[in-house]
Amino acid sequence: MTAPSSPDGARPDSRPGSRPESRPESRPVLRLKPKANVRAIRHGSPWVFDNELVMDRRSKAIAPGTIALLEDHERQPLGTVAVNPESRIVARMLDRNADADIDTAWFAKRLSKALSLRERLYDAPFYRLVHAEGDGLPGVVIDRFGDTCVVQPNAAWAETHLDALVDALVSVTGVTNVLKNAGGRGRTLEGLDAEDTVLRGAAPDAAVPVEMNGATYMADLTGGQKTGLFFDQRDNQAFVARLAKGERVLDVFSHVGGFGLAALAGGAAHATCVDGSAAALALASEGAARMGAAERFTARQGDAFDTLAEMAGEDARFGLVICDPPAFAPAKQAVDKGLRAYERIARLAAPLVAEDGYLVLCSCSHAADLNSFTGACLRGIGRSGRRAQLLYSGAAGADHPLLPQLAESGYLKALVFRL
């Protein structure tokens, strides 16, 4: 029996988890301008900007989050894209197959691939499960904490298709709780709300303990920064912990104790964690206590720049100093200002490092590339009167896979210097 037609002539779709525009025959079409870089798109570039597309009245009227067909200027199909005419990134490539159905089964296939990698890498289910474009889900971040997943749908299409995504997530992983974190900067750029909510199950009634590198971290999944914990520094923290044995350690911008607690697990004599958030430091203190290291741990609340200056006045010295600040250069227009801030951090931190001690400087600003960041750090170290050896250059762990065609996916940089 033939299904009845809808008013526009397209057949209605009764498949679970499938929205009307998920069907190829009912999708709007976006077309590239003749001078657009078609080769880059064919070779894997996942974003198409407004100045590369024919943005006529019909294209501008497409509702944010809609699935569409992308064509080159000769009307040859390039793939299935998610559209938001209100963003500079108008189209995000979802599938090179122009006939792909973006439904629950499609999400399940992407999530299964992501899960298989993490299960190979880690013994316990605590990791970044989905790293946006790096895992083929543009704008979607999912961090896993045992039987709870925290989802950041930072693009309009992910918000629009959230039910199908969550259905697939529960089916593939077996988690019982799914939380939505709406605090991502990308959501603002996409015109989305900032309302956190519980999508499935229930939110934990207390911070969740997470074991990494021998340390215990307390992750606040509902009231903490981002999704509650930064998994991206795991490998860098492991390296730094090897330098910590017997040393006094200073961890600035520590959040819930990222590097400081790893250093304690590595045998540090003492760790001082500095952060502006009393709540984050309370979680760091709880983590230290759970590790049996409370007597070797001190929390100091305050502005990082001010605290570094104060400690210099106190003639404080540490065998290992770590500074892991928030993104000082979150966009290209902020790069110069951000690099000056990184230079200042290095200049203030270097005098606190004992002779032959170690200074760890980090950046999560994708707009500041590794060479620029390294240069800023070396200028700051030099202006403090110190000389440096560069021992280690690290990035995010393998649960944050880099999409080679998208430099922004390789945002994290961690440099370890011996002074």
**Phi, psi (deg, nearest 5) at residue 199:** -95, -35
Q: Can you name the residues that pair with 19 across neighbouring β-strands?
A: none
Which residues are CB-contacts of 242 (< 8 A; sequence separation ≥ 6)? 266
Which residue, among 135, 234, 129, has the nearest Cα to 178 in the 3D structure? Answer: 129
User: Is 364 tagged catalytic?
Assistant: yes
Residue 18 to residue 39: CA distance in whole angstroms: 31
Which residues are CB-contacts of 333 (< 8 A; sequence separation ≥ 6)? none
Which residue, among 80, 86, 91, has the nearest Cα to 36 in the 3D structure? Answer: 91
Q: Catalytic: which of 149, 323, 364, 377? A: 364
Q: 31 to each of 36, 282, 344, how far by Cα in Å? A: 10, 53, 46
Identity of residue 260:
G
Which residues are CB-contacts of 169 (< 8 A; sequence separation ≥ 6)? 107, 111, 142, 149, 151, 175, 178
Got the DSSP string for 360-373?
Answer: EEEE--TTS-HHHH
Q: How many DSSP H helices and E strands does the chain contain?
A: 12, 19
Cβ–Cβ under 8 Å, residues 140 and 128: no
The H or E element spanning position 392 is strand 389-394
202: exposed, middle or buried (Cβ count in 10 Å: 0-12, 13-18, 19+): exposed
Which residue, among 259, 252, 362, has the nearest Cα to 310 in the 3D structure? Answer: 252
Residues marked active site are found at 364
